[in-house]
């Protein structure tokens, strides 16, 4: 299972259930997503969480595409 957090810029942070929020360059005020835990995520997110311990997606990155 995974915990999902959002910040004030609507960036997305996914960590394995129960782990603390990692300190990154995008650290700030993260709020836990109110809908609860995710049981499944995409393969891209799963691999990133296994390698780094977290997955982060910036909303600005999606708007450029």
Give me the pLDDT at residue 51, please. 95
**How much is the average pLDDT of 27-34?**
81
Q: Is the pLDDT of residue 61 over 80?
A: no
CA dihedral 36→41→45→51, nearest 10 degrees, is 90
């Amino acid at each position: 299972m995974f915990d999902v957090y959002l910040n004030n810029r609507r960036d997305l942070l996914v960590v394995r259930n129960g782990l603390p929020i990692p300190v990154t360059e995008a650290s700030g005020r993260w709020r836990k997503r109110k809908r609860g835990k995710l049981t499944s995520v995409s393969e891209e997110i799963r691999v990133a969480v296994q390698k780094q311990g977290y997955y982060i997606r910036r909303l600005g990155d999606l708007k450029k595409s």
